[in-house]
Amino acid sequence: MYGRNKYLNHLVWLVMRNPRLRRVLQRALYPSGIREVMLLGQPLEIDCQAEIGYYRASIANNSNIYFRDEVPQIVSVASTLRPGCTFVDAGANVGIWTVQMASLNDIVGGVRVMAFEPHPVTFKRLKHNAARFANVTTYNLALSDSKQSLTFYETTTSGVFSVKASDFNMAEKSSAITIPALPLDDYLDDIEDVVLMLRDMS
């Protein structure tokens, strides 16, 4: 499959090297005129033909929850990081936020990331993804207002692993997982500058 796509992509690249043919195909496939699109959470006025790359990106942006919702938030939260701060990713999943914030350590300086993920299998992927960053510490537990055990319910996707029944999970005894939970304050002793990213798992 990869080889076939590789040759097809090469053929398209050869055809698109012809500017006249490229213009004909571009006008046939994409709209013309000025439009307002959303990119990185901000409205931009573009010419759909002159800025076709941005127009195509806006289509992907609107059809994908990660590009539409999470990327603009990551950009905004990243701007709040300060040298020496600790970013807490509560409900880190596979570490999308964790690795992005950790990677900014070279720019901001002294950034530390604490990533909490309750699901044991999802946590393995989080730990793997965060392993290349020396400034990340991962925890396989839930956060709560007190030390306790919480019952979570399995779901079809890892992003909606929850302690309450919903349309997205399987609230049955067979899908229940007991997870230890501790207060976040237990981990923040002597840490003064904290940026918190909290996902509601209720």
Phi first, then psi, for residue 90 (nearest 5°) are -95, 115
Residues in the chain: 202
Whole-structure pTM value: 0.76
Separate counts of helices (H) and strands (E) for the chain = 8, 9
Q: Where are the domains of the chain?
A: 2-70, 80-198
The 148-153 sheet, strands edge to edge:
142-143, 176-182, 148-153
Reading the chain (202 residues) residue by residue, the pLDDT tens digits are 444 566 766 666 666 677 777 777 778 888 899 999 998 888 999 998 989 889 989 988 888 888 888 888 888 889 889 999 999 999 999 999 999 999 999 899 899 999 999 999 999 999 999 999 999 999 999 999 899 998 888 777 776 677 766 666 555 555 788 899 999 888 887 787 888 776 654 4
From residue 14, give the alpha-carbon distance in Å to each of 46, 157, 195, 196.
27, 40, 48, 49
Q: How far apart are CA 123 and CA 115, in angstroms?
A: 10
